[in-house]
Amino acid sequence: MAIQEQRLIFKHIDEPGYTNDIDCYIKHGGYEQLKKAVTMKPEDICAEVLESGVRGRGGAGFPAGMKWKFLDRKSGKPIYLVCNCDESEPGTFKDREIVHQDPHQLIEGMMCSAFAIQAKLAFIYIRGEFFQGYKILERAIEEAREKNLLGDNILGSGYSCDIIVHRGAGAYICGEETGLIESIEGNRANPRIKPPYFPAALGLYQCPTIVNNVETLCDVKHIIELGGKGFAQIGTPGNTGTRIWCVSGHVEKPGYYEFPCSAVTLGQLIYDVCGGLKPGRKLKAVIPGGSSAKILRADERFTGKLKDGTEFDWGIEDIPMDFDSLMAVGSMSGSGGVIVMDDSTDMVEALANINYFYAHESCGQCTPCREGVPWMRKVTQRMVDGEAREEDADLLKNIADQIAGRTICAFGEAASWPVQSFIAKFKDEFVQKAREQAARRKEGKAAATKTTLI
């Protein structure tokens, strides 16, 4: 029996008859929260957001209210709000739906947030490939401006703020917040060093800046509606609100599904919500939070202690889908991209595919990532091309170890974690690959088998 979704952010996504124009949005109660917000004290909204415990939906899961608190308000410089709509993490497809089907929810969330932090100007940095989304947002902003929901003296409150939609430069690294800021400034999206360039102090144009994910900013609208406390009641302590899980891979019904945090386990998500695996297939592994999250092996036992001290002993299907549980099992909920792999998956090929992506996307600024990630790609490519060596597994792990934690931005980790975890959990397959190829070569056959790689 399928578990019922509980949609908050995706409430109207795919709802028959629901359109993305402002009239439809207002008919469904839209912009009431903005009307409420502008009558509140900005600092009170910030307090509500802090109390809600809402954590960032862009990848790192950092509490949004805390991030807002770090804003340097003493500098006297204007404050900027930036919505990160670069959605490029492989396996993630939620922000695009919000923009396409419910853009006003994002705009309302953004204007509430902008008012709360007293931003002078807000930006939506939208992935370059989302041209349709860009046009939808431009139109929606125009509609909202006509109704005085953004622009000068919003709803007579005396507060003015506009939204500028900035199309992305067509690279994954543009989603990293400081790279994104560089990109808005018109430069290559080279991430900045932190310290000193923490966006909350020295962000866009060297002014204090808040960067939040599309979903996070939508959450703010609901925090105004429910109050911080009310929002915090969704999910569990420390894992509040809902999450949109973007399930892809070898399941019968891939797609996006929204649940309160912890409301489903990974097993329920795969088997009940997504209709299970293809007939006759067995679960092999899951990457739970976008391709950079560490992979989980289906036959692993996960034991340890949660943050609050409770002990756990889980099989992969028992893992509750929330921030802390996925962290506790050594991975992360990341951007919510759940990639399911059944027993037809060749792990070397899967990793080669991931490595290809990261090697292609490194900005190239810092040595370990620029040189190390393409090296890993070359190794895995060679392995699938028929020249695998038994020692490649150790080499790959060693290269990844030389990258993670030594780079300018978290891309270094994003690119190393897959390698580290694939080798940690599937080393036997990497070694086996070399042995099989050697055997085939001995028999006079081509060492490489046909691959499904791009």
Residues that bind ligand SF4 (CB under 6 A): 173, 191, 362-366, 369-370, 407-409, 411-412
Q: Where are the strands (E) in 168-268, listed by range?
A: 209-213, 235-236, 239-240, 242-249, 255-260
- Binding test (CB under 6 A) with ligand FMN, winner from 71, 409, 434, 447: 409
Exactly one of 99, 112, 114, 211 binds ligand FMN (CB under 6 A); which one? Answer: 211
Give the x/- contact pattern for other proteins in 283-322, rule: CB under 8 A.
----------------------------------------
Nearer to ligand FMN, 340 or 414 (CB): 414
- Least Å distance between CB 263 and ligand FMN? 20
* Residue 314, SS3 per DSSP: strand
CB of 28 to ligand FMN, least distance (A): 24
Q: Return left, alpha or beta for 240; rule: phi > 0 is left, psi -120 to 50 is alpha, else beta.
A: beta
Are the C-beta atoms of 271 and 401 separated by less than 8 Å? no
The reply on whether position 383 binds other proteins by CB under 8 A is: no
- Examine residue 213 and tell whether it contacts ligand FMN (CB under 6 A): yes
| Three-state DSSP state, 229 | helix
Stretch that binds ligand FMN, among 36-44, 279-287, 305-313, 409-417 (CB under 6 A): 409-417
Cβ-count burial 385-418 (b if 16+ within 10 Å, e if not): eeebbeebbeebbebbebbbeebbbbbbbbbbbb
With CB under 5 to 8 Å by kind, the binding choice for 164 among ligand SF4, ligand FMN, other proteins, none is none
CA distances from 188 to 124, 291, 304, 407 (A): 18, 24, 43, 17
Query: What is the total residue count of the chain?
Result: 454
Footprint of other proteins on 47-86 (CB under 8 A) = none
Binding positions for other proteins, 351-370, rule CB under 8 A:
359-368, 370
Residue 103 in tokens: 């853009």
Give the nearer residue to other proteins in terms of CB position, either 123 or 375.
Answer: 375
Q: Which residues contact 381 (CB under 8 A, 6 or more apart)?
A: 352, 355, 356
Rule CB under 8 A: is residue 395 a binding residue for other proteins? yes
Give how far Cα 386 sits from Cα of 94, 351, 403, Å.
Answer: 37, 15, 26
Q: Please give the residue ranges that form the binding site for ligand FMN (CB under 6 A).
A: 56-60, 62, 64, 84, 86-89, 172-173, 175-177, 211-213, 216, 409-411, 414
